[in-house]
Each structure stands twice: as C-alpha cells, then as structure tokens.
Amino acid sequence: MDSRDVAATLRQCYDAAIAAADPARVVRDGLRAHEVTLEVGRDRPHWIIALGKAAPAMAHAAVMHCDAAGLEIAGGLVVGVASSEAPDRRLESIVGDHPVPGARSARASERLSSLTDRIGRNDVVLVLISGGTSSLVGAPIDGVRAADLAALGALLLGTGVPIARINAVRKRFSRWGAGRLAEALHGARVVPILLADVPNEDPAMIGSGPVTPDPLEARHVERILREAGLAVRIPLSVASTLGAMRAGLIPETPKRDHAAFARVSDPFVVGNSVALDAVAATATAAGFAPVLLSRTPLQGDATGAGRVIAHALARAPRGACLAWGGETTVRLPEHPGLGGRCQQLALAAAEVLSDLAAEGTWILAAGTDGRDGPAQASGALVSWTSWHASEEAEGRPAQSLRRCDAHAALAVAGAILPPIATGTNVMDIVVALRV
C-alpha cells in the first residue's frame, strides 16, 4: 500500500467516525427510544430546545419527527455557533459565543429564560444538547459577574485542566448548568437527547448537564481548583460565591432527589465510542488486522499523549490499526503560537516516529467537529517522515512543539487536515496505521 492509499484510508476512517455521530441519526434513534413518553404526552404542546454545535441539525430532525408523528410543536429555541436560518419557522435560531461566553451568549441565555416561562406543566420538551453548549448559553448565576465567568472559562482552558474537570467547575456558576434548566421547566416532561463531547459520555458533564443532577458539592469543586493550582487565581465573584455555597449561605446545585428531575426521562446518549466503532469497521474493511481500540478515554497533556501513541504504534505489527478517542489538553506557554490539541499531539508523535525510524507508520488526529483550536485545521495527518519534512522546509518543528505552534511546522510538511463543517462533536479521534 503506497502513501496515498494509507492517507486515503485514514481519511475514510475519519469520515466514518463523523458519519456515525450524525446528529440527525442520533435524534431519530433517541426519539424512538423515548416513544412511550412521547405517546403519553401526545395531546400536550411540544417544545424543542437545541443547544450546541450540532443544534441546527438536531432541531431539524426533531421537527421532522414531530410533524411525521402528528405532534404539535408549540415553539422552541436553537442556539448554535454559526448564523443560519431556523430549521423551522416555529423555532427561534440565534448564535452564542464559543469557546468563551460573551455578549451573544448572554442574549441566548435570556432568550432561553423567556422560552422556559412559556412552557407549561406537563408539556413535552425535547432537550437536544451537544458540544459547545456550556459557552453558547454561558451566563452567570446571581452573584457572579459575566466577565468573571468568561475569565474563569479562559483560565481553565489555558492551563491544561481536563475537560471533565473544566465542566465540573464551570457549570456550578452557569445559569443553565448543573440541572438548572430542569428547574426552570416547571414540571414539564423532559426528553433529553445528548451528543456527548466528554469522556465516559457522562450526562452530568455534557453541555454542563442542564437537565441532569449535579453529583458534586462545593467542596469537591474547591479541591479541583486547588489541585490545578487555580484556587488563588479565580475571579473574586467566583471565589466568594463558591465560599458561600460551601458555607450553606446560598443553595447548592440541584441533586438527584430534587423535584425538578421527577419528570426528566433517562437521557439518550451517543458519543465517542460510536465513532470509534465506525473507525474499526472501516479499517477492517480496508484489510487491516489486528484492529485495536482503546476504551480508556484519551486525555491529559497532548504532547505526552502523542509520544505514548507513537511508541505504541512503533511496537505494533505491520498491518495493525490502533485507535483512540477522547480529548487532550494543551498547557500554553507565556507566548504561544498557533495550533490545537490534535496538531500538538500529531507533531509530538511525528518526532518520536522520526527518532525511532518507525518506517510505515501513520497517524491521523482530528476533531469530530471539524475544527482543532483557533487554527484553520480539523487536525493533522503525519507519518514517520513528517518531522524530517518539516525540518527540510525550515518549519522548525522542535521550536514549534515547545511554543505550541504546531500549525506552522505541520503546514510546511503538508500535514494539516483542512477544517470542515461536520455538524457534530463527539470529541477527537486518533487513528494510527502501520503498513
């Protein structure tokens, strides 16, 4: 198999992963799973709340289902990352800010509040959540300044804290996180369908868990901040609010026994594991064996993860396919360059593959949302020759790796995967082949 065929196979694996997490398919499957709840509420108004990067596609699928089933759509809200028409005239469509909440997120939060005021007890609400929700409707709870909530998010994202811990902290101070949307829905019948962008596909973490009980208490959040070295760096209004929660002066986030969850159905969740299964099927069909999937979520430092993956691939037999799913983090230096976590991982892996002279090894690392950080890329595709190619083209890959400037070094080596609009988000995938 020549290099073009290997690269094509890796791209086919990536395409298959994205297709498996198609938002419309997820919604259709989720509504079928909840058909009893929908039938019980057939005569009640139905509302659609779709939040996140996949919101338009998820909302469209929900509208199609409701119309085909003869269910009345009373209204709804779609909050996404790009300006587009609402998937139906009965729904309002607006744009929030991502990855850090801003003025548009505040507006989206207010529109969501207005919608929940219109929803009646026993109405049916389809809550469709995907990655990006935390920021897109990111407005603070009472007592926390909007600028401080944004600063907290930026601080967490810039210091390499794993995504699960970021969400555990951020949702506590978010108006709609940690089950607070369920509180606001006034006893409506809630049907959650979740496209997971977090490790272990935990509903409490997806989109900051708008309709899911928060399992953590203030003391747990304090510990996360201490362990990340952030306890003395968080904004004052955040620190004082957390302290008041810890002292019982203001309410904790709603827990499992809260009345708000009495009519919230079990969430239907699809995440990274489905994408990995699609990678395995594609690689097998292409003739690779063995095909080994890691069921331990890929997380932690992107540079370290890239090196571990490269060593694993160098030890693999010829014909093997190895795959991982998850989301790493990048600890930014004082003056960072341009890149993303997948590009950083791929560049670190390329260095190891070059050092080991691991002939015939290839790695694709990319985001299923079609974007990798602020750079114009969905990720990168490297081989054992990419590091040398970057050096030959004066890409200075060693310096780029240190500065988190992976995009520059990979671009001159022709290793960048261009950004694409996938409409979904189930974290990242890494596919490694040895031929």
Nearest to 341 by CA among 384, 383, 298: 298
Is pLDDT above 90 for 163?
A: no
pLDDT digits (tens, 9 = 90+) for 272-301: 999 999 999 999 999 999 999 998 999 889
Q: What is the spatial distance between Cα 29 and Cα 268, in angstroms, rounded to a whole number? A: 9
User: pLDDT > 90: what percent of the chain?
Assistant: 81
pLDDT band at 183 (very low <50, low <70, confident <90, very high): very high
Is pLDDT above 90 for 115?
A: yes
- Residue carrying the six token digits 């595709």: 381
pLDDT at 332: 85
DSSP of 388-420, one letter per residue?
HHHHHTT--HHHHHHTT-HHHHHHHTT-EEPP-
DSSP of 350-366, one letter per residue?
HHHHHHTT-TTEEEEEE
Question: Helix, strand, or coil here: 270?
Answer: strand
Is pLDDT above 80 for 185?
A: yes
Nearest to 387 by CA among 398, 375, 376: 398
Sheet holding 291-293, edge to edge: 291-293, 321-326, 428-434, 361-367, 379-383, 416-417
Partners of 355 in beta bridges: none
pLDDT at 110: 97
Maximum Cα–Cα distance for the chain, whole Å?
68
pLDDT at 252: 94
The residue ranking higher by pLDDT, 83 or 36, is 36
Q: What is the spatial distance between Cα 299 and Cα 432, in angstroms, rounded to a whole number? A: 17
**What's the number of CA atoms in the CB half-sphere (13 Å) around residue 376?**
2
Q: What is the spatial distance between Cα 63 and Cα 71, in angstroms, rounded to a whole number? A: 9
- Residue carrying the six token digits 């520059």: 408
CATH architecture of 3-13+272-434: 3-Layer(aba) Sandwich (3.40)
The total of other beta-carbon atoms located within 10 Å of residue 60's CB is 20
Containing 428, the helix (H) or strand (E) segment is strand 428-434
Which of 44-58, 152-166, 344-358, 378-392 bottoms out in mean pLDDT, i.e. has the lowest? 152-166
What CATH number has the domain spanning 23-139+174-216+253-270? 3.40.50.10180
C-alpha 211 chain-centroid distance: 17
pLDDT at 84: 67
Is pLDDT above 70 for 420?
A: yes
The pLDDT mean for the chain works out to 93
Nearest to 316 by CA among 364, 358, 365: 358
Region 230-258 average pLDDT: 94
Region 425-430 average pLDDT: 94
pLDDT band at 145 (very low <50, low <70, confident <90, very high): very high
pLDDT at 295: 87
The sign one gets for the Cα dihedral 421, 422, 424, 425 is negative
pLDDT digits (tens, 9 = 90+) for 100-109: 888 999 999 9
**Domain chopping of the chain, boundaries:** 3-13+272-434, 23-139+174-216+253-270
DSSP of 21-69, one letter per residue?
T-HHHHHHHHHHHTHHHHHHTTTS-EEEEEESTTHHHHHHHHHHHHHHH
Q: What is the spatial distance between Cα 367 and Cα 378, in angstroms, rounded to a whole number? A: 6
pLDDT digits (tens, 9 = 90+) for 335-361: 889 999 999 999 999 999 999 999 999
Strands 91-95, 124-129: pairing is unpaired
pLDDT at 164: 79
Q: In this structure, what token pair is assigned to residue 99?
A: 């990855």
Q: Which residues of 401-432 are buried (b: 16+ CB within 10 A; e: fewer)?
A: bebbbbbbbbbbbebbbebbebbbbbbbbbbb
Which of 27-36, 111-120, 153-162, 195-204 bottoms out in mean pLDDT, i.e. has the lowest? 153-162
Q: What is the spatial distance between Cα 168 and Cα 46, in angstroms, rounded to a whole number? A: 31
User: Residue 74 to residues 108, 157, 185, 193, 244: CA-CA distances in angstroms?
Assistant: 19, 38, 15, 19, 39
pLDDT at 40: 86
Question: Helix, strand, or coil here: 326?
Answer: strand
pLDDT at 154: 83
Q: What angle do CA 323, 163, 147 make, to 5 degrees?
A: 150
Q: In this structure, what token pair is assigned to residue 310?
A: 């490269």
Region 183-198 average pLDDT: 93
User: pLDDT > 70: what percent of the chain?
Assistant: 99
Q: What is the spatial distance between Cα 141 and Cα 176, in angstroms, rounded to a whole number? A: 8
Q: What torsion, rounded to 10 degrees, do the Cα atoms 12, 286, 321, 359 define? A: -90
Sequence-separated (6 or more) residues with CB below 8 Å from residue 259: none
